[in-house]
């Protein structure tokens, strides 16, 4: 059964259902769908073991995120299906985060998610430790005969150095995939969507991902850290942050390498790998020079 056929078979419709593919998803097939009474977003996707995506975790995180006031409501769910309230608005782009007012709203929204979601979370939940993910991705690439095998030993050496540099962490509930398109701007506020990778983590991972994915400069990064932590960014915080930022970029790079082999979605993962590899090397250089 195709994703569209799964959508059409849902028992939630009243009258004729109309569905339009929603672009941008690279771990799901997404639609905007409406019947005679409602308009919703339908996400279709099974577990993705190579990416440690477990749909029970996405569901519980999505429900808790709504209860915490940071994400739209889950209206219906079934195995491989998530139906979410439609938000009238637009997905952000990296350029949007050059607006310091909007960046501040995004940081505050992420901080709220970190603090409030655990109070609403129910049932089992995952931990997202980036260095475990990196090691797992590397093993997947090695056993799968990836064309990137010659890079893996050096990348794992980098990762071990970065993990040591990160040191002890605070634990929050992270989104762990802060691409610009996962922020939705409605007329009155921002929303945070798509909880595929959610799990307990250090806040530095989300902050590093936010900076890398949106091209923030050094002054913006310091401002982001000071706004999030509500105190000046000293040398120790900056060092831990730059190590985690490099690790976040490395994880995204390896994610894309794995996706080149395992994803059936129509997306240019090879080009995405090269973009992220360049971002990672830049972040690593910054860490080494800091």
Task: Render pLDDT for 56-70 as a digit per residue (tens, 0 to 9).
Answer: 999 999 999 999 999
Q: Which of 68, 85, 102 is the last residue of a domain?
A: 85
Cα separation of 113 and 131, whole Å? Answer: 22
Angle at which helices 149-166 and 269-289 pack, to 10 degrees?
Answer: 40
Average pLDDT taken over every residue of the chain: 94
Cα separation of 194 and 103, whole Å? Answer: 19
**Eight-class DSSP state of 97:** G
CA distances from 148 to 158, 159, 254, 272 (A): 15, 16, 9, 14
Claim to verify: residue 38 and residue 169 sit in the same structural domain: no
The pLDDT of residue 290 is 76
CATH number at residue 266: 3.90.1200.10
Total-model pTM: 0.92
Claim to verify: residue 121 and residue 250 sit in the same structural domain: yes
**Eight-class DSSP state of 119:** G
Claim to verify: residue 50 and residue 176 sit in the same structural domain: no
Tokens, residue 71: 């994400």
Cα separation of 147 and 49, whole Å? Answer: 21
> Which residue in this structure is represented by tokens 């762990």?
176
> Which residue in this structure is represented by tokens 């029970």?
56
Q: How many structural domains are present in the chain?
A: 2
- What range defines the domain where residue 252 resides? 90-289
Burial 49-88 (b: 16+ CB within 10 A, else e): ebbbbbbebbbbbbbbbbbbebbbebeebeeebbbbebbe
Task: Say if residue 153 is exposed, middle or buried (CB neighbours under 10 Å; 0-12, 13-18, 19+).
Answer: exposed
107 pLDDT higher than 70: yes
Tokens, residue 266: 């129509």
For 214-232, write each residue's pLDDT tens digit.
Answer: 989 999 999 999 999 999 9
H-helix or E-strand containing 125? none
């Amino acid at each position: 059964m195709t994703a569209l056929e799964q959508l059409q078979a849902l028992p939630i419709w009243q009258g004729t259902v109309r569905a339009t593919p929603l672009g941008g998803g690279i771990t799901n097939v997404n639609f905007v769908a409406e019947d005679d009474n409602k308009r919703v977003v339908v996400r279709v996707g099974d577990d993705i073991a190579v990416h440690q995506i477990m749909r029970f975790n996405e569901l519980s995180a999505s429900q808790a995120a709504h209860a915490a006031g940071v994400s739209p409501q889950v209206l219906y769910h079934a195995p491989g299906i998530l139906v979410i309230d439609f938000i009238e608005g637009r997905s952000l782009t990296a350029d949007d985060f050059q607006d310091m007012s909007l960046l501040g709203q995004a940081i505050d929204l992420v901080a709220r998610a970190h603090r409030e979601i655990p109070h609403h979370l129910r049932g089992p939940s995952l931990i997202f430790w980036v260095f475990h993910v990196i090691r797992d991705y590397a093993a997947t690439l090695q056993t799968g005969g990836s064309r990137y095998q010659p890079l893996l030993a050096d990348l794992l050496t980098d990762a071990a150095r970065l993990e040591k540099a990160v040191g002890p962490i605070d634990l929050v509930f992270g989104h762990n995939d802060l691409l610009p398109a996962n922020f939705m701007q409605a007329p009155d506020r921002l929303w945070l969507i798509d909880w595929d990778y959610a799990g307990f983590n250090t806040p530095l991972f989300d902050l590093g991902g936010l900076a890398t994915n949106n091209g923030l400069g050094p002054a913006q990064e310091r401002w982001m850290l000071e706004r999030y932590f509500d105190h000046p960014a000293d040398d120790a915080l900056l060092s831990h942050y730059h190590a985690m930022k490099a690790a976040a970029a490395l994880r995204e790079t390896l994610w894309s390498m794995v996706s080149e082999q395992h994803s059936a979605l129509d997306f240019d993962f090879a080009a995405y790998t090269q973009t992220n590899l360049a971002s990672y090397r830049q972040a690593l250089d910054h860490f080494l020079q800091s």
